[in-house]
């Protein structure tokens, strides 16, 4: 086989692989739409703005407003908590820590990714919940009049979006950190040495040479972690005191997410109920595609 023939065969193989991925995505979307349409037609409320969830009543009433709110709030809170820690850990392991310590820390961080979701959920439910309640009470007492989401608190804390966000942050941290670490290790050494030779401090060299180079990797890793947080099921289902209300009191018990609601309701749902759950899954599917699309746009944007 000539080199040109081998290159052509390789190109066709990669095109076929990409085509298979596209077909699978389209097939999933078509399945979700096909199963969701009958339930959406039966819904007597606005699917996008309704907060209650009673799809199996004689007159079905259901909507995804509360589910979308809980999913986005818990996921964004997780991202807000996880990204700084993950980037800082990756930077330390890649460019500050001695080799032996870096290898050990990298192994320990990667090990967090191997912990099953149910273990995180149980740990959050039986251990972290008590300590988070203390933190939530402290935030309420000292910042309740300043931070709107914590204002007018009832003084009761438990399975909340705040707790779910913390556990999700711990779950997505190893994914983000591992990817960002590998990106930082690919920074040309000459760039760092040039910055140091020009009189930059160690931090200035990191800020001028490493972070701009790793920006696409940081964004991609963050979006991958966000995708994990958006779709997390078991841990969130164990932690949340499910309620279908939209409340900015994120430290108060209550809240619901798409994935947790599907897991909790699917077995007991009737025909319309299952169609409603699949319709909510379709919305989550679209949100995930939009998140990835935005991430690609940010990555492709030229660095100023």
CA neighbor of 165 nearest in space, from 220, 246, 235, 222: 235
Domain count, the chain: 1
> Does residue 265 lie within any of the structural domains?
yes
Q: Domain range holding 93?
A: 15-300
Q: Please state, rounded to an integer, the average pLDDT across all residues of the chain.
A: 84
CATH code, domain with 144:
1.10.3720.10
**CB 81 within 8 Å of CB 254:** no
Calculate what percentage of the chain has a pLDDT beyond 90.
Answer: 26
Q: Give a yes or no: residue 4 inside a domain.
A: no
Give the mean model confidence (pLDDT) for residues 288-301: 79
Helices (H), the chain: 3-42, 65-95, 99-112, 117-123, 129-143, 161-185, 189-197, 202-205, 211-231, 234-239, 258-265, 271-300
Q: Are 239 and 166 in contact (CB under 8 A)?
A: no
Residue 294 pLDDT greater than 50, yes or no: yes
Residue 236 maps to a domain = yes
- Domain membership of residue 10 (yes or no) is no
Whether 144 has a pLDDT exceeding 70, the answer reads: no
Whether residue 99 lies inside any domain: the answer is: yes
Report residue 153's pLDDT band, with 50, 70 and 90 as the boundaries. low
**106 in Cβ contact with 174 (< 8 Å):** no
Q: Is residue 215 part of a domain?
A: yes
For residue 3, is it within any domain? Answer: no
Written as one string, the DSSP assignment of 178-234 is HHHHHHHHTS-HHHHHHHHHTT--HHHHIIIIIHHHHHHHHHHHHHHHHHHHHH--H
- Taking Cα atoms as reference points, which of 74, 241, 224 lies closest to residue 164? 74
């Amino acid at each position: 086989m000539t080199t040109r023939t081998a290159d052509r065969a390789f190109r066709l193989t990669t095109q076929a692989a990409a085509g298979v991925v596209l077909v699978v995505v389209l097939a999933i979307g078509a399945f979700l739409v096909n199963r969701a349409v009958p339930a959406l037609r039966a819904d007597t409320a606005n699917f996008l703005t309704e907060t209650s969830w009673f799809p199996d009543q004689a007159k079905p009433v259901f909507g995804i407003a509360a589910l979308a709110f809980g999913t986005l709030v818990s996921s964004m809170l997780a991202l807000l908590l996880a990204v700084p820690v993950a980037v800082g850990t990756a930077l330390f392991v890649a460019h500050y820590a001695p080799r032996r310590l870096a290898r050990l820390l990298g192994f320990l961080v990667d090990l967090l990714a191997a912990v099953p979701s149910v273990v995180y959920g149980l740990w959050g439910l039986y251990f972290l919940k008590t300590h988070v309640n203390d933190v939530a009470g402290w935030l309420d007492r000292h910042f309740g009049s300043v931070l709107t989401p914590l204002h007018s608190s009832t003084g009761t804390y438990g399975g909340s979006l705040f707790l779910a966000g913390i556990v999700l942050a711990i779950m997505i941290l190893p994914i983000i950190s591992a990817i960002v670490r590998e990106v930082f290790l690919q920074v040309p050494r000459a760039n760092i040495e040039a910055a140091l030779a020009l009189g930059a401090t160690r931090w200035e060299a990191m800020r001028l040479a490493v972070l701009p180079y790793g920006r696409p990797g940081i964004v991609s890793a963050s979006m991958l972690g966000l995708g994990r947080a958006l779709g997390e099921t078991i841990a969130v289902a164990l932690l949340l005191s499910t309620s279908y209300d939209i409340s900015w009191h994120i430290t108060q018990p209550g809240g619901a997410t798409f994935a947790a609601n599907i897991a909790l309701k699917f077995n007991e749902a009737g025909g319309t109920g299952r169609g409603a759950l699949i319709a909510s899954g379709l919305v989550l599917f679209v949100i995930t595609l939009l998140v990835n699309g935005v991430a690609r746009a940010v990555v492709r944007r030229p660095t100023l």
